[in-house]
Amino acid sequence: MAVHDQPFWKRKKLEQMSAREWESLCDGCGRCCLNKLEDIDTGETHFTNVGCKLLDGENCRCHDYKNRKKKVSDCVQLTPRAVRRIDWLPPTCAYKLVAGGRDLYWWHHLVSGDRDTVHQAGVSVRGRVAASEADVPDADLVNWIVKWPGKVPKKARAPKSPSGR
């Protein structure tokens, strides 16, 4: 396959992507919208199953993406530089994969052609957000720590046939 025939994420660096290409890399899993805690002794990041107050846990999207930075002051805006520096991005994150020179998983909508495959593969937070940060005091977040957001689900790793699903 000629280089120009390859999909944009295989032939462009993150910095070379248009705004539309950049935004399309988001798989819509919602994992980055879960509250995280950092262990001050070890620096280790722990995910919780408590979602940002703007996270819609069913469709795994932000209720107000355009104004999220105004409404959630610590919302992290991903940039190519940030992607390379943030250690808590999930291992399934397309930005992290592309920055590391790896390909997207079979279930990513740019590969599968279907935005629902992220949910079918068990990658998204759909049905797994136990609470909103609006309802859980920061001091209680330690009681909501979960491991799954930092892992690749078995279903997601399984190769799919060339015919798709």
> What pLDDT, on a 0 to 100 scale, did the predictor assign at position 1?
61
The pTM (predicted TM-score) of the whole model is: 0.88
pLDDT, tens digit, for every residue of 120-144? 999 999 999 999 999 999 999 999 9
Q: In the chain, what are the domain boundaries?
A: 3-149
Q: Convert the pLDDT of each residue in 23-50 to its tens digit.
A: 999 999 999 999 999 999 999 999 999 9
Residues 108, 93: Cα–Cα separation, whole Å: 10
Q: Classify residue 50 by burial, with Cβ atoms within 10 Å: 0-12, 13-18, 19+.
A: buried
